[in-house]
Amino acid sequence: MKKSRATYQSMLSGIATLGPLGYAPAPGTMGSAAALMIGGAVTITFGMIPLVIMIIIVTMISFPAIDAHTSITQKHDASEVIIDEVIGQWLVLLAIPIVASHDALYLYTLLAAFILFRIFDILKPPPVSTAEDLPGAAGVIADDIMAGVLAGVVIMASFQFYGWLYS
């Protein structure tokens, strides 16, 4: 029975790190880039609803996955845990108008979303730093959610400030 539990914990830990990707150089950036490519492709191909569903599913899976990794490694918010970057990066994509996906400028907007998310995630201005103080997996995930929300707000504000770029 114990071996089965250890295997389950190990599998969840692997999900938290996105397998070997979490052990690559600059794991947060690698996880964000992977999330951007997958999320961008899903949004262009299928629209926003599948992305929202993916965000919900990955968020629900991330809590036990992060807890398992923490239990195995005894490290809170370990750098190799990058499932939270996926959630935050996908949230930014919700701020990009779907009509934009049919224009070449969409790629520049994706790049801006990536850069803004990484800036907020690395610098951790309030409320990102405040969210990080939550206990357990909630704190690991919440700071990336806040970084994603802030990056999304900047994206939406830029559309308002510079006019509708995609009309």
Residue 162 has pLDDT above 80, yes or no: no
Secondary structure of residue 134 in the 3-state scheme = coil
Could you give the C-alpha distances from 61 to 128, 139, 165, in angstroms and in order? 22, 15, 36
Looking at residue 97, its pLDDT comes to: 80
Identify the domain containing residue 124 by its residue range. 2-17+28-162
Residue 93 has pLDDT above 90, yes or no: yes
Looking at residue 161, its pLDDT comes to: 79
Beta-carbon contacts of residue 109 (< 8 Å; ≥ 6 apart): 96, 100, 155, 165
The answer to pTM > 0.75 is yes
114 close to 93: Cβ distance less than 8 angstroms: no
Looking at residue 70, its pLDDT comes to: 97
> Any idea which of 41-45, 89-93, 143-147, 162-166 has the lowest mean pLDDT?
162-166
Looking at residue 141, its pLDDT comes to: 98
Mean pLDDT score, 85-102: 86
Beta-carbon contacts of residue 43 (< 8 Å; ≥ 6 apart): 51, 93, 96, 98, 101
Question: Is residue 12 domain-resident?
Answer: yes
Percentage, residues of the chain above pLDDT 90: 80
Could you give the C-alpha distances from 55 to 22, 83, 85, 108, in angstroms and in order? 19, 11, 11, 22
Instruction: Read off the pLDDT band of 123 (50, 70, 90).
Output: very high
Q: Which residue has the higher pLDDT, 101 or 84?
A: 84
**C-alpha 96 chain-centroid distance:** 15
Looking at residue 3, its pLDDT comes to: 74
Question: Is residue 23 domain-resident?
Answer: no
Question: Is residue 88 domain-resident?
Answer: yes
Averaged pLDDT score across all residues of the chain: 92
CA contacts within 13 A on the Cβ side of 14 = 8
Mean pLDDT score, 39-62: 95
Taking only the tens place, the pLDDT of each residue in 75-84 is 999 999 999 9
Q: Helices marked H in the chain — which ranges?
A: 2-16, 27-46, 48-73, 83-93, 105-123, 128-132, 136-162
Q: Which residue has the higher pLDDT, 163 or 166?
A: 163
Total number of domains in the chain: 1
Beta-carbon contacts of residue 5 (< 8 Å; ≥ 6 apart): none
Looking at residue 16, its pLDDT comes to: 98
